[in-house]
Amino acid sequence: MLRWLLPFALVLASLSLAAEPPGDVEQIRAKRLAYNDAIAERRIEGFAAVLAPDMVEVTSNGTVTRGVKDMAQGYADQEFKNPDFVRYERLPASIEISPNQQVAVERGRWRALNRQGMTRSGVYQAGWVRAADGWRIKTEAYVSLP
């Protein structure tokens, strides 16, 4: 019985490796961490580098932000001027790479933190696109769960 188990396990392992390009999920996770850190450090250029130039963000109240310039301006005018603001965190639960390896979807939970603690939280979904310089966030949608 054990003689057939090893070849079966090797076949399953090779199928799972073929289904997901090596390194893509890890690259997206690393970029998400860098994005979170840049927001916490109030570095516009740091989080903007992770966004596609024509990105779109939709919040649960229906606010739509279009383009990296508007997103950066929004942070500069609001969060980064607020002395109580600490960070927004996106915490990925899953990342799935498309079969054509050009787009990916990230799903997870998010939370907003200020100096007094967590202020809001909920779920999010982000669409990533492969660009010449690596993965970039093209779309993000957030739902607050009070």
In the chain, % helix, strand, coil (3-state, to 5) comes to 35, 40, 20
The pLDDT of residue 43 is above 80:
yes
Could you report how far apart the first and last alpha carbons of the chain are, in Å?
53
Q: Which domains does the chain have, with CATH numbers?
A: 21-144 (3.10.450.50)
Q: What are phi and psi of 32, to 5 degrees?
A: -65, -40
Q: What is the pLDDT of residue 13?
A: 44
- Asked if residue 64 lies in contact with residue 58, where contact means CB atoms within 8 angstroms, the answer is yes
DSSP 8-state code for residue 135: E
- Predicted structure pTM score: 0.81
Q: How confident is the model at residue 28 (pLDDT cuts 50, 70, 90)?
A: very high
Residues in the chain: 146
Quick one: pLDDT band at residue 65, thresholds 50, 70, 90? very high
Q: What percent of the chain has pLDDT over 70?
A: 85
